[in-house]
Amino acid sequence: MLNRISHIGVVVRDLEAALRFWRDALGLKQFAEADIAVEGIRSVFLSVSGTPGEMTIELMEPTDQTDMANPVARRLARAGEGVYHLAVVAADVPAAAERLRALGLPVVERPAVEAGTAGRWLVHPKAATGVMVEGIAEWSDAATVARMQKPA
């Protein structure tokens, strides 16, 4: 059902301050950044080698930290910075969601991050030992990754 762990999402108040720790102090390499309008966040993606396809850290800063309709901003206001979700790659995202539902887990469908890409699903932390789990498709489309590449 699942192919691999894609990334760990970390919600932050200040993306530049977070980069000083994750990138500058720890030495992770930034390979992409994106404004993800459907989520109301700005994200930076980092990995050990600086390439997609390996375990990644996604730093997520809400674009409007006062918007309590935004789940990321709400989580930041309620609990502060920290781990927000664990994203796993599913070979077939809809089939994985159906399998989890068949096991009695509450699965929340989420819209695609950008047009033309697969949708996503979430399992709430209350049903997943305290961790929100996000099911996504692999970023196998080089064009998707290229659109998110760190500007030169």
Query: For residue 141, is pLDDT > 50?
Result: no
Q: Which of the four pLDDT bands, split at 50, 70 and 90, describes residue 138?
A: confident
Q: Which domains does the chain carry?
A: 2-144 (3.10.180.10)
Q: Output DSSP code: residue 129.
A: T
Q: Is the pLDDT of residue 140 over 60?
A: no
* Digit-coded pLDDT (tens) for 46-64: 999 998 889 999 999 999 9
CA angle, 145 as apex, 139 and 148 as ends, to 5°? 130
For the cut 70, the answer to whether the pLDDT of residue 30 exceeds it is: yes
Give pLDDT tens digits for 70-128: 999 999 999 999 999 999 999 999 999 999 999 999 999 987 776 556 689 999 999 99
Tokens of 109: 């469908």
Residue 42 · residue 26 · CB < 8 Å: no
DSSP 149: B
Q: For the residues 126-145, what does the mean pLDDT come to? A: 79
How many other C-beta atoms lie within 10 A of the C-beta of residue 43? 22
User: In the structure, what pLDDT confidence band is assigned to residue 132 with cuts at 50, 70 and 90?
Assistant: very high
For 41-95, what is the HEC assignment? EEEEEEECCCCCCCCEEEEEEECCCCCCCCHHHHHHHHHCCEEEEEEEEECCHHH
pLDDT of residue 113: 74
